[in-house]
Each structure stands twice: as C-alpha cells, then as structure tokens.
Amino acid sequence: MQLESNVLRRGNRYGLILVDMCVGFTNPALSPLASNADSVVAANQQLLAFFRERNWPVFFTTVAYSDESQATVFREKLPALNMLQVGSGLEEIDARLAPQEDEPVLVKHWASGFFATDLHEKLQATGVDGTVVTGLTTSGCVRATALDSLQYNYRTLVPREAVGDRDAAAHEANLRDLGIKYVDVLSLEETLQFLA
C-alpha cells in the first residue's frame, strides 16, 4: 500500500536554518567533505535575501572540533570530519553567505543542528512555529536537522535546490523519504510562494 503525504499547513512565522554552509562543505579544492555547491549557495542567497527583507530569523550551523573527546564515534565512522578543527578555516561559513551580526552561528559536533545545541531555545525565543531547513548534506546533517525540527513540532520545509549532497542518488532518495514521511519538500520557487 502506497503512503500518501499531506502538505503541511502554513506556520505563522518561519526561521531559516542553513546547515553547514561552511568552507569544509562548499569548497571541494580544500576538503573531501565538499562538493560543487555553487547552485546550492545561490539558492541560499535567494532565501537569505527573502528572510532578511522581512526581518525573519536566520540561523547557521557549522561543524568544528576542538578536542579529541568530541563526537568520537561519529568521527570514527567518518574520519574526514577530523579536518573540521576550530581555527582551520574550514568551519567558517562560506563568504558568499556571510552571516549578519544578529544571525547566530551554532557550532555542532554531531549531525543534527538541534543535538547538544541551543537551536530549539533560540527558535522559541523568536516565536517561530515553522522552519526552512537548507544546506549540506542532504543525506546527513540536513536530514538529521529536518527530522529533529519535526520532532520539536515545527512545520518544516526543505527547498530542493537549497540542499545538496556529494552522492546524487542519496540526495534524491533522502528528499523523497523526507517528503513522504516527515517534512514538505518543495522547489525553491514553491517555497518562496508558500512563505509569501
């Protein structure tokens, strides 16, 4: 039997969460974790402009480690994460998406932007009941953050062009699965129309 997904009702106020749009994931010349993400950066630039124009809340996440005791099992599974050291420059948000002073950059050690961070509390403080989750990578930290967004009871949107992955098949499979069971996966244009 085929499951049917329902499009979520529109929330009252949305926050934008840009997951790991840092140099370590956007610059393949510097990091094996990165992919050619120029189109993902461009889509996020559009979303940032949309949210900033309306003075809606924006949050960034990045991954950065400062000692060997942090996320040991995750780093054992994916040793390339060890490159993302505090001060390496790879943890810096891509300059094309430079955060403004009032846009927090949350440092995380695991996949989800919510796990062991104060993202939920920051979202609550801004009065949002919905999130738009974007960034890198679709099958990893984007998926984990989108799932936790749902589990914190936010109406969650994932704009297709604003997320990316090193593995095209994993990207498509995860977007399909997320859209069927957990969040609304829309095109960038549909997302902007929905929010407007």
For residue 136, report the phi and psi dihedrals to the nearest 5 degrees.
Answer: -135, 140
The CA-CA-CA angle for residues 47, 52, 55, to 5°, reads 130
Residue 22: active-site member: no
Query: Residues 158, 178: contact at Cβ < 8 Å?
Result: yes
Which residue type sits at 36? N
**Which residue among 58, 123, 141, 183 is the active-site one?**
141
> What residue spans of the chain are helical by DSSP H?
23-26, 38-53, 72-77, 119-125, 143-151, 168-181, 188-195
Which residue type sits at 117? T
Q: Report which of 148, 120, 166 is spatially closest to residue 158, judged by C-alpha positions.
A: 148
Q: Report which of 63, 57, 71 is spatially closest to residue 131, judged by C-alpha positions.
A: 57
**Separation CA 119–CA 15 (nearest Å):** 11
As annotated, the active-site residues are: 141
